[in-house]
């Protein structure tokens, strides 16, 4: 069984395409943990996911919800896009909001997911981004839980 699927991206456009490829496989209720340093490509990837999910003008409308904590987009599925960069840990109202998102049946994308990993459901997709040069990134996809037992094979 595959443990992960790896991609090398050499441009933002390629990272968006990888996002589109994953986005095309997503269903309502899917949760994605986007993990990686500043500028590693999490938001760029999210733009591709949103495009594949039919969000109009996704390349422009999808931006990091760094200050607002959450953005909501409408495509063939509803998408919640969260960003925990400014949080040391996700607690209190932020934790309640997160639980609502995960329980809503929407596709949930979370940047800086490591800040609140305990809030993630049992089943989720993890996408790790690493800098590999000025315009190169390594992107690796893992899954957690039985819901995604066959997911990596479909990529
Ligand atoms: N191969 C690549 N894939 C994605 N972004 C790239 C790539 N090469 C260069 N870049 C640049 O890196 C930056 C990635 O920014 P992006 O907002 O996607 O990162 P992020 O991981 O969401 O960062 P943050 O943690 O600040 O939200 C952009 O300026 C983009 O142009
Ligand atoms: Mg971002």
Distances (CA, A) of 79 to 2, 4, 53, 92, 132: 27, 24, 9, 22, 29
Pocket test for ligand 1, best of 13, 19, 43, 51 (most atoms within 8 A of CB): 43
Mean of pLDDT values over 59-75: 90
pLDDT at 86 over 80: yes
pLDDT given at position 135: 98
pTM above 0.75, yes or no: yes
**Superfamily designation of domain 20-148:** P-loop containing nucleotide triphosphate hydrolases (3.40.50.300)
Q: Which atom of ligand 1 is nearest to the CA of 63?
A: 17
Tokens of 46: 């999210």
Q: Which atom of ligand 1 is nearest to the CA of 137?
A: 1
């Amino acid at each position: 069984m595959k443990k992960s699927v790896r991609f090398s991206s050499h441009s933002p456009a390629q990272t968006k395409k990888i996002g589109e490829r994953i986005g095309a496989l997503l269903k309502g209720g899917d949760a994605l943990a986007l993990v990686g340093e500043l500028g590693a490509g999490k938001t760029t990837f999210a733009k591709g996911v949103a495009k594949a999910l039919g969000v109009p003008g996704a390349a422009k409308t999808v931006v990091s919800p760094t200050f607002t904590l959450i953005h909501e987009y409408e495509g063939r599925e509803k998408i919640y896009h969260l960003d925990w960069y400014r949080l040391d840990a996700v607690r209190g109202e932020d934790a309640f909001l997160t639980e609502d998102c995960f329980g809503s049946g929407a596709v949930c994308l979370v940047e800086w997911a490591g800040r609140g990993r305990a809030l993630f459901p049992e089943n989720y997709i993890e996408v790790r981004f690493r800098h590999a040069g000025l315009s190169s990134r390594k992107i690796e996809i893992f899954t957690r839980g039985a819901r995604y037992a066959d997911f990596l094979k479909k990529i």
